[in-house]
Amino acid sequence: MTAPRAEVALFPGTFDPFTNGHLDLTARAARLFPRVVAAVARSSTKVPVFSVEERMEMIGEAVATLPTEVRGRVEVRSFSGLVAGCARDIGAHVMIRGLRAVSDFEFEFQMALMNRKLSPELEIVYLMPDVRYTYLSSGMIKEVARLGGDVTGLVPEAVLRRVLAKFGHGGAA
């Protein structure tokens, strides 16, 4: 017996800010699934630099640069609470997670087991970003920008403008 094809894939994250690695994973997921929901977490444990609305706008602007057949499959929304609840709310049976390096595996493994306990019907699909983005993280982008480093090419153009505005430097001169 074959499983029914997943129509909706959830790609949750804080996305503070949305990086080129996130954009790459979004595009990869949209080539695999008819609908991808990039869901911005309203985190209660993290204090984001960008508001939920800013993060959603950045994702929307970044996704708009993807080829038409890919960007048409992506929608952006926010959620609070458990990711398993968000998946249920949107009818997703697949959750997309990125794995950049072995160091991500332990955390992702623990999260997958907890999500399986909370929502046994939710399958986790791990995608690896393009090798150019395997070292990127939102935290690293913020730290480099805070310290005046250039983050050009590490985040989409729309995100770069917002990072520069937020930190007053950190991008192309």
* CATH 3.50.50.60 corresponds to the domain 8-130: no
User: Does 100 participate in catalysis according to the annotation?
Assistant: yes
pLDDT, mean of residues 80-85: 93
pLDDT, mean of residues 85-98: 94
Does the CA dihedral 119-122-123-128 come out positive or negative? Answer: negative
Least confident segment among 7-16, 112-121, 156-165: 112-121
pTM of the entire predicted model: 0.89
The answer to whether residue 136 scores a pLDDT higher than 60 is yes
User: Does 93 participate in catalysis according to the annotation?
Assistant: no
Domain segments of the chain: what residues?
Answer: 8-130
Q: Would you state the pLDDT for residue 173? A: 40
Active-site choice (42, 71, 88, 100): 100
| pLDDT class of 114 with cuts at 50, 70, 90 | confident
